[in-house]
Amino acid sequence: MRRHDELSFSSGANGSFNETQEALDLENLATTRVYVQRIAVKVDKHSRKIAERLKRKKEGGTQN
């Protein structure tokens, strides 16, 4: 399993930072927090783009 997938699974299951740190085999909890925050931002941006495309499609606009 890739790290990103494992992180998504761990944090999606309401895992703690400590559980996520252990699952990813990271030594520093601060590193784990930064990693989780960056992944969350990427997921939010991706979700927003998908929502915008679906809205345009529903309104009859173009898909880009």
Give the pTM.
Answer: 0.48
pLDDT, mean of residues 16-38: 83
Question: What is the 8-class DSSP label of residue 53?
Answer: H
State pLDDT tens for residues 14-24. Answer: 667 788 888 88
User: Given this model, what pLDDT does residue 35 score?
Assistant: 80
Helix axes 3-12, 29-58, angle to 10 degrees: 80
- pLDDT at res. 3: 55
Q: What is the spatial distance between Cα 64 and Cα 4, in angstroms, rounded to a whole number?
A: 26
Which DSSP state fits 15? -
Q: Where are the domains of the chain?
A: 3-58
